[in-house]
A and B are shown apart, each in its own frame.
Chain A
Amino acid sequence: AQKITQTQPGMFVQEKEAVTLDCTYDTSDPSYGLFWYKQPSSGEMIFLIYQGSYDQQNATEGRYSLNFQKARKSANLVISASQLGDSAMYFCAMREGREYGNKLVFGAGTILRVKS
């Protein structure tokens, strides 16, 4: 079974509007972490935001926020006020429990295109 599922292969958003990128996960471990990364065409992986399974509040980092719904096992990324530079591939990833170290399992990714 897929541990991380990103159901949107591609998304379009108008500049200055908000967009939500979906991510659902599957784990039986009570301790886990969820990450979002941005990968532009250059290939680098840019860390955006982190949410721990025990965190009470949704994580926020500037224009990025994570809509964490633990019961539904979803960790959607919300990008507010989209900019042309936001066009990239976005990956959701999960780290399970401390015994797994800090290795990540990635979703298939969502390509975001911001239109002017």
Chain B
Amino acid sequence: GAVVSQHPSWVICKSGTSVKIECRSLDFQATTMFWYRQFPKQSLMLMATSNEGSKATYEQGVEKDKFLINHASLTLSTLTVTSAHPEDSSFYICSAPRGAGNTIYFGEGSWLTVV
């Protein structure tokens, strides 16, 4: 079964609105989680590192005010896409390392379509 759960799997929103995606580690605690973005037929690109109890660390070129990340607890990180635009339409997927980090699990991913 899933070790990291992501919700929602699919979301359609209107331009200008905000949408929140949740990432939960189901049977382990994750002080760090990671958010990736994947465009069709491309690889995964790291957006940011979500840190429990502190601010997220964003990769170069990622707008922190547009992609808000909150690591509310040791099992939950959220990504909020604010003022969404059609170019934000993409597949967003989170990951969480388990134990020493030799196993890094991913959520099921979230397909975002902005219309």
Contacts and interface: CB of A to CB of B under 8 A. Distances in A.
B108 A33 contact: no
B51 to A, nearest CB: 9
B93 A43 contact: yes
B103 A95 contact: no
- Decide if the interface of chain B is mainly helix, strand, loop or mixed: strand
Contacts, number: 56
Contact of B109 (A44, A104, A108): A44
Interface residues of B, number: 23
B106 interface: yes
Interface residues of A, number: 22
Contact of A108 (B43, B49, B104, B111): B43
Contact of A33 (B46, B49, B102): B102
Contact of B43 (A44, A91, A95, A101): A91
B108 A43 contact: yes
A44 B94 CA distance: 10
A101 B105 CA distance: 14
B44 A91 contact: yes
Contact of B91 (A43, A95, A105): A43
Interface of A: 33, 35, 37, 42-47, 50, 52, 91, 95, 101-109
Given A44-B107, A47-B106, 4 more contacts: A43-B91, A45-B93, A104-B44, A105-B46
